[in-house]
Structure 1
Amino acid sequence: MTDLAILYEHPFWFEPLFGALSARGISAQKIHADGLCFDPSSAIVPAPLVFNRIAMSSFLRAPEHPIFFARSLLAHWQRLGARVLNGVRALETDASKASQLSLIAGLGHGIPATRVVHRRADLISATQGLRWPLVVKANIGGSGAGIMRYDDLAALEQAVATGAVPDSIDRVLLVQEYVPVRGGAITRIETLGGRYLYAIEVDGGGAFDLCPADACLVDGKPSIMRRAAEPDPAIIDAAERIVQAAGIDVGGVEMMIDDRDGVPRFYDINALSNFVAKPLDILGWDPHERLVDWLVQRIADAKA
């Protein structure tokens, strides 16, 4: 048995992590979700330490995605005593934008004004009290999937009538005020072990897919601006509190400054953070090295 197992789905996203581990001589069992099955009566875990890297966007790549399977598998391993990084609580938070917003608001931080429904027919009545334009979001999204903007009630009514509104694989939808972002760029704060790691500003020119990693920068996708950022200490403190409350060991939080009132509004928690592309150019250092340092310590803790 190796000291570390990594559960993943995307075939390319974790090559930098695998490479960084190999360069440090750290052996890790790579467990791809496809083809995997488990015996719920088994008392065997793949490693004392398991790192969950299942992405919510996996449903975009395969209709038979592993999101809900991974929840059962990770719960089984946790019950057997494995230490699971980004375990069940983190995965459940990642898999519900509604739960994310409830958690953030419960901590006293600003969020975009939002209503949650489970029927498309209820989207119209859910707009009452919200300011236009609005967006409709899938509760389980990823890479900007399942988000549509509507500038007025007539546009949304037409979309509902024709079935052209977003769908979510859990049949939960969010109606949310479209927040005009001060300066045009959102802030993505990455954390490690519940603490601030780095932050970047991302400007996609109005696009909803703001993934800043190498694997997301594909031909045909609109380019996005990425630059290092130094958020206000209060913003950093808020992000740390959010990921700690969500049970996220490695992950990011996205926020924006509402240009209407200057209020910081947190709107997304991401337990599957791909570090920024070209980190040496943008940050001056490679976050994968810090991640490996942290994993080495977690391996030692799991052995203790």
Structure 2
Amino acid sequence: MSEKIYIIHENREWTDHLIKRLEELQLPYEEWFLDEGVVNLVDTPPEGVFYNRISASSHTRDHRFAPELTEAVLAWLERHGRKVYNGSRALRLEVSKVNQYMALDSNQIRTPKTIAAVGKEQIIQAAKELNLPSFITKHNRAGKGLGVQLFHSIEALENYVYGPTFEPSIDGITLIQEYIQAPESYITRCEFVGGKFVYAVRVDTSEGFELCPADACVIEDMFCPVGEEIDAKPKFEIIEGFEHPVIEKYERFLAENNIQIAGIEFIQNSDGDIFTYDVNTNTNYNSDAEAKAGRYGMLEIAKYLGEQLTVTSH
């Protein structure tokens, strides 16, 4: 087998788990680390399958233009008919929650009421227009809960926006969004590989909004003193036998947007209504939760990519 699996990424910590699984399955692979680089549009890309793992939060790792470089690479690969997984359409949704919400809406998937704004005055005006007792702000290009703040008044928002701690989105677009009050402090994240549901994770939100499941993201969130692990409440917990009608909608949404691998997050209010608020096309998995449940997302991805490589090679 001369062809390879090419992993397009900008964060080795989030990719090591996949590489271990590819090696475990003895699958040939090559990393394309796209923080900087050159794309020769005259050249022909190599044969193989290409898996894009570029994240919306790449700028937080000093990889400011990784998404833009990746967009150029994906355009080049797709022009030559290469098998690209989580290609240019997935990247477009990864780096823009506005694009996510519009795509979800077109598939009759409910999202929280949201207004996008550029400019501090416009952020305040958007909150007034939303006219809700509680609301949140978040970055349009985010990841890891960037820019998420909860407010209960316009005055509190003004103090934040015009204060020293205000953090603008890297693309300049701030979202002002309806705050969904859940009866319990958790959200649900559904994982998909090959466009099909794998498992759902219950994520404890009692400590805040930074909900990235990657081990590297949660090291500082460990709140269990040594010796008290038995009674500690895990932040991430795989839900056994999870079923919900929204899964079929999510699978249809992923197919229509040519997204093969993703984690989709929703929250449920006290009336039982669910609101989908985030699509992660660079999905990560929590090793503690997976070990406890005996389910392994990166292993599923490695198997899936291996199957696609076999099809391509023939």
TM-score class, shorter:
over 0.9
Q: Does 1:277 align with 2:277?
A: no
| Pairing 1:251–2:262 present | yes
Secondary structure at the aligned position of 1:6 is classed as strand
Q: Retained in 2: the 8 A contact 1:2–1:29?
A: no
Counting only pairs closer than 5 Å after superposition, residues 129-278 of structure 1 correspond to structure 2 as 129-162=130-163, 164-219=165-220, 225-229=235-239, 230-259=241-270, 261-278=271-288
Query: CA–CA distance in 1 between the matches of 2:140 and 2:265?
Result: 16
More off after superposition, 82-91 vs 123-132: 123-132
- Amino acid of the residue matched to residue 297 of structure 1? E
8 Å Cα contact 2:138-2:145 kept in structure 1: no
Q: What residue identity is the alignment partner of 2:83? A: R
Aligned to 1:122, what secondary structure does the other structure show?
A: helix
Cα separation, 1, equivalents of 2:303 and 2:24: 12
The reply to whether residue 73 of structure 1 matches residue 79 of structure 2 is no
Amino acid at match of 2:84: V
Distance 1:221-1:132 versus aligned 2 partners, 3 A rule: farther
TM-aligned CA deviation for residue 46 of structure 1: 3.6
1:115 aligns with 2:126: no
- Structure 2 vs 1, CA of residues 161 and 291 (structure 1 numbering), >3 Å: closer, same or farther? closer
User: Using a 3 Å threshold, how does the CA distance of structure 1 residues 294 and 234 change in structure 2: closer, same or farther?
Assistant: same
Q: CA deviation at 1:222?
A: 6.1
Q: How far apart, in 2, do the equivalents of 1:206 and 1:105 lie?
A: 30
Name the structure 1 match of 2:7.
Answer: 6
Contact 1:280 1:286 (C-alpha < 8 Å) held by counterparts: yes
Q: What letter matches 1:251 in structure 2?
A: A
Number of residue-to-residue matches in the alignment: 302
Match of 1:295 in 2: 305
The Cα offsets for residues 67-126 of structure 1, whole Å up to 9 and x where unpaired, read as 111111111111112111110000001111011111112211221111112222211221
Cα separation, 2, equivalents of 1:188 and 1:289: 18
Cα 1:189–1:176 change in 2 (3 A) is same
- Alpha-carbon distance in structure 1 between the residues aligned to 2:72 and 2:80: 13
Secondary structure at the aligned position of 1:211 is classed as coil
Residue 100 of structure 2: aligned partner: 100
Question: 1:50 corresponds to which residue?
Answer: 50
d(CA) in 1 for partners of 2:68, 2:223 = 31
User: One-letter code of the match for 2:125?
Assistant: S
Identity across aligned pairs (percent)? 26
Q: Take 1:90 and 1:21, find their aligned partners in 2: how far apart are those partners?
A: 23
Q: What stretches of structure 1 move > 6 A for 4+ residues in a row?
A: none
Distance 1:164 1:46 in 2: 46
- Does the 8 Å contact 2:7/2:30 carry over to 1? yes
TM-aligned CA distance change 1:163 to 1:115, over 3 Å: farther
Assess, with a 3 A threshold, how the Cα gap between structure 1 residues 13 and 173 changes in structure 2: closer, same or farther. Answer: same
Which secondary structure does the structure 2 equivalent of 1:267 belong to?
strand
Q: More displaced, 131-140 or 212-221?
A: 212-221
Matches within 5 A, 1:33-44: 33-43=34-44
**Any idea what SS the aligned residue of 2:282 has?**
coil
Query: 1:182 is paired with a residue of what secondary structure?
Result: coil
Amino acid at match of 2:204: D
Which amino acid in 2 is paired with 1:294?
Y
Q: Quote the RMSD (CA, aligned, Å).
A: 2.0
Distance in 2 of aligned mates of 1:227 and 1:295: 26
Q: Which moved more, 1:116-125 or 1:11-20?
A: 116-125
Greater Cα offset, 101-110 or 90-99? 101-110
Letter in 2 for 1:103: A
TM-score (norm 2): 0.89
CA drift at 1:252: 0.8
Report the CA distance shift for 1:92/1:283 in structure 2 as closer, same or farther (over 3 A): same
CA contact (8 A) 1:5 1:47 kept: no
What's the CA shift for 1:239? 2.1
Pair 182,65 (structure 1): closer, same or farther in 2 beyond 3 Å:
farther
Counterparts of 1:164 and 1:214, CA distance in 2 = 27
Opposite residue 208 of structure 1, the aligned amino acid is: F
CA distance in 2 between counterparts of 1:11 and 1:289 reads: 17
Query: Any gaps of 5 or more consecutive residues in structure 1?
Result: none
Distance 1:257 1:243 in 2: 21
Offset at residue 158 of structure 1 (A): 2.3
Matches of 1:267 and 1:222 in 2, distance apart?
26
